[in-house]
Amino acid sequence: MQILSSLSNERSFEDIEKEFEGKGYGDFKKAVADAVCAKLEEIQTRYNEILNSNLIETTLANGARRARAIAEEKTKSSPKSNWNGDTLNHRMCIKQYTSFLYQKKSDCSL
- Per residue in 49-69, pLDDT (tens digit) is 999 999 999 999 999 999 888
**pLDDT by residue, tens only, the chain of 110 residues:** 999 999 988 889 999 999 999 999 999 999 999 999 999 999 999 999 999 999 999 999 999 999 888 888 877 776 655 555 555 555 666 666 666 666 655 555 44
pLDDT recorded at residue 49 = 94
Q: What is the pTM of this model?
A: 0.54
Residues belonging to the chain = 110
How far apart are the C-alpha atoms of 87 and 2, rounded to whole Å?
57
How many other β-carbons are positioned within 10 Å of the β-carbon of residue 98?
17
The H or E element spanning position 9 is none
Would you say 75 and 81 are in contact if contact means Cβ atoms under 8 Å apart?
A: yes
